[in-house]
Amino acid sequence: MSAAAVPAVGGVSPRRAWVTDLPVLAVAVVWGASYLAAKGITTTHTVVAVLVLRFAIVLPVLVAVGWRKLRALTGAQWRGAGVLGLVLSGIFLLETYGVVHTSATNAGLIISLTMIFTPLAEAAVTRVRPSAGFVAAAGLSVAGVVLLTQGGGFTSPSAGDLLMLLAALARTVHVLAMARIKAVRDADSLSLTTVQLGGAVVVFAVLAALPGTGASPWSTAAGFDAREWAGLVFLSVFCTLFAFFVQMWSVRRTSPSRVSLLLGTEPLWAAAVGISLGGEHLGVLGVAGAVLVLAGTAWGRRAASEGVRVRS
């Protein structure tokens, strides 16, 4: 289809729309690549240390940029954001431990189930029955995950696969909590994110100080070579700082649904990076499972959007 045939977004020319879309697509790419990057610099004994380092690098920047609005947060907003930070710390712990014990491809595809779990959980909370199309899409996605984890034949899913599944559920809890904690609904987005990341860093720092939780952040950083430092900077600067600011910038220039659609390509990039750069191999069952996961999440996202429009 030629560029002239693509409809404009919100009255903006197709070329202007792509100027906004490309940075968002870049976020999806770096998020997809983040699983392989985390796998490359993290071991079972350095998970907590890497998380401390990753977020301690960007947190001062966020605090400096948003200091004035941070000071304007109410006590209720600080408490609400703090609760969300605790949930966020659990998400990152599950994701990082999970990617250590599974492939980057599996991690990116399994975590995409959040797009299915969230509308299902919301339907359970609000007691609004999901559409038949969405239920079918959810079933397709779950079947895909089953096949995806059986690339070498039918065996029990790995510990990493199960941890990524729990991470997808935790992401769902985080989304629902953001929607239901009244104090944070009107909070400044930058301030809310800063407090959440700060709360997560506190959790990681406390865990790092406990015996038996692995290497310390300082010894881990001292042991990094140039490649590992590059991976850490990539996770901190591009997957966290850059990604957040692009989302803030893009939602003011295009529709949230378009941003969501572009970010929804993350599992595609995770699979592409894992296979092309990580040398991972899915096998016939794995490929079939990946296709079902991608098809199911795309179908489910569309069915959920249509359901919202109908209810509106």
Q: What is the pLDDT of residues 139-148, one digit of tens each?
A: 888 888 778 7
Confidence (pTM): 0.82
> What is the C-alpha separation between 156 and 150, in angstroms, rounded?
8
Q: State residue 10's pLDDT score.
A: 45
Closest by Cα among 118, 126, 123 to 170 = 118
Instruction: Give Cβ neighbours of residue 227 (< 8 Å, ≥ 6 apart).
Output: 40
213's tokens: 């939780």
DSSP reduced 3-state for 191: helix
pLDDT digits over 231-243, tens only? 999 999 999 889 8
User: Is a pLDDT exceeding 70 seen at residue 15?
Assistant: no
Angle between helices 104-111 and 132-148 (to 10 degrees): 170
Report which residue type is found at 234. F
Least confident residue range of 30-34, 119-123, 166-170: 119-123
For the chain, strand residue ranges (E) read none
Residue indicated by tokens 């000071």: 71
Alpha carbon 201 to chain centroid, angstroms: 17
> What is the C-alpha separation between 45 and 216, in angstroms, rounded?
9
109's tokens: 């595809």
Running DSSP on this structure, what letter comes out for residue 234?
I
Q: Which has the higher per-residue pLDDT, 244 or 85?
A: 85
In this prediction, residue 2 has a pLDDT band, given cuts at 50, 70 and 90, of very low
161's tokens: 């696969």
- Identify the top-confidence range among 149-158, 185-194, 297-306: 185-194
Q: Following DSSP, what letter does each residue of 268-289 receive, concatenated?
A: HHHHHHHHHTS----HHHHHHH
Give the percent of the chain with pLDDT over 70. 86
Q: State residue 127's pLDDT score.
A: 81
Q: Following DSSP, what letter does each residue of 238-252 receive, concatenated?
A: IIIIIHHHHHHHHTT
User: Residues in the chain, how many?
Assistant: 312
Q: Taking residues 182-190, what's their average pLDDT?
A: 83
Neighbours of 54 (CB within 10 A): 29
User: Is a pLDDT exceeding 50 seen at residue 4?
Assistant: no
Q: Taking residues 77-93, what's their average pLDDT?
A: 94
> What is the C-alpha separation between 205 and 213, in angstroms, rounded?
11
Least confident residue range of 152-156, 172-176, 193-197, 259-263: 152-156
Q: State residue 19's pLDDT score.
A: 72
In this prediction, residue 265 has a pLDDT band, given cuts at 50, 70 and 90, of confident
Q: State residue 75's pLDDT score.
A: 92
